[in-house]
Amino acid sequence: MVNEPSETVAGERREQGRSRPAASHAAVLGVANLNPFGDLHTLQHLSALFARSLRGVFEPLLRREARIWAEPLVVQRFADYRAERPDGLTAWLPMAMSPSPGTALILFDGKFVLELLDQFFGGSGEAPHALPAEFSPAAEAMVGRLGTILAGPLKNAWEPLARIEFRPGHMETSPALLADFDSDDAVVITRFGIAAGTAKPTFIDIVYPVTALKPHAPSLTGKVHARAAAPDPAWRNGLTRAVMGVKFPVRSVLAEPMISLVKLMELKAGDVIPISFGNDVPVMVGGDRLGTGTVGTSNGKAAIRLTMIERIDEEDYR
C-alpha cells in the first residue's frame, strides 16, 4: 500500500551508513523545512505506478522474472544524500524535465550496469569481481540506453498529475560534476528495489529537486485521479456476444381502422371490418419505429421488404 513499508524483508533493503530520515510532514522549530508538499502520498502513489511498470523494462534485460517495489520516500539535503551513498562505481544520469525547469537524477549501481552489459552481449550476467574505477564506453552507452527506456514509463507514471517529458543527459561518475545540483538543495529521493530469483536485490534511485517539483505543488498536494483501466478484452467480447444474442419483437402494422363504440359493441363473428393501407406500412421494433416496408411474399410466406430505415438519434438512448 502507498506510503507503507514495502513488503520486503530487512535483508533485501540496502544497508547504509546512517538511517534514512522519513519524509517530513511539517517544519520543526529552528530547522528549515525541506518538504513543502505535506505527506507526499501523491508522489508515493506515482512511485508505486512506476514500480509496476518496471517489470516490463528489466525482465527482458535480465532474462528472468523479477520482483520490483517502491521504497518509502525521503526528503533531505543533496549533500546528506551524497554522504549516505556507498562508495563504489555509480552512474549519475541527469534526466531533463520539460516543460518543467529542472533536472532529475537516476542512479545505477556500477555492478548492476556491468551485469546488464554482460547479459546484453550474451553472457550470464556476471560483473567483474573487482569493479573498475570508470565505466567503459560500452557501459556508458548501456546507461544512456537505460535512461532512454525509463523515460517513457516515467512520463506515463506522472501523466495523472502533469505532462512531463524526461530526456537523458550526459552520465557522470561523480556527483561533483553535476552542474544542476548544489549541496544545500533539498531533494526528494524515490528508491526502487529489483530482485531476480535468489540474488541480492539492487536499488535504483530517482532524485527530484524540490525546486523542480514546486510548479506541480497543487497537484502533488491533491489527490491522484488514476486513469480508468481498460476493460478486459475477453470480458468485453463476452458481453458483446451476449448483447448481440438478445431478441426483439419485430411487427408490422398493416392498418389501424377507427370505429365507433356503438359499432364495436355490435360486432359479432363473421362481421367484416374494412381497412385500407398504402404501398408502405410501418415496421416496429418493440415500441420504436424501425422504418417502412412493402407487403409481399417470400418462399410462400407473407413478408415485408424494407424500403426505408429510420434515422436513430443516439441522444434518445442516453
Q: Are residues 120 and 259 in the same domain?
A: no
List the pLDDT tens digit at each of the 318 positions of the chain: 444 445 454 445 444 444 455 555 444 444 456 776 667 788 888 899 999 999 999 988 888 888 999 999 999 999 999 999 888 899 999 999 998 788 999 999 999 999 999 988 888 888 888 889 899 999 999 999 999 999 999 999 998 888 899 999 999 999 888 888 888 899 999 999 999 878 889 999 999 999 888 888 777 766 555 555 566 788 888 888 888 888 888 888 777 788 888 888 888 998 888 887 778 888 888 778 888 888 888 888 888 888 888 876 655 545
Cell 410466406: give the residue: 301
Long-range contacts of residues 212-217, Cβ cutoff 8 Å, at least 24 apart: 212/97, 212/100, 212/101, 212/102, 212/103, 212/104, 213/37, 213/43, 213/100, 213/102, 213/188, 214/36, 215/100, 215/101, 216/100, 216/161, 216/162, 217/36, 217/37
Q: Residue 317 falls within a domain, yes or no? A: no
Q: Residue 5 falls within a domain, yes or no? A: no
Q: Are residues 117 and 81 in the same domain?
A: yes
Amino acid at 318: R
Domain of residue 74, residue span: 10-220
CB 106 within 8 Å of CB 150: yes
Closest CA to 158 of 290, 53, 28, 24: 53
Q: Are residues 94 and 172 in the same domain?
A: yes
Q: Are residues 39 and 100 in the same domain?
A: yes
Q: Residue 230 falls within a domain, yes or no? A: no
Q: Residue 231 falls within a domain, yes or no? A: no
Q: Residue 20 falls within a domain, yes or no? A: yes
Q: Are residues 23 and 162 in the same domain?
A: yes
Q: Residue 23 falls within a domain, yes or no? A: yes
If one counts the domains in the chain, the total is: 2
Q: Are residues 156 and 252 in the same domain?
A: no
CB-count exposure of residue 97 (10 Å: 0-12, 13-18, 19+): buried
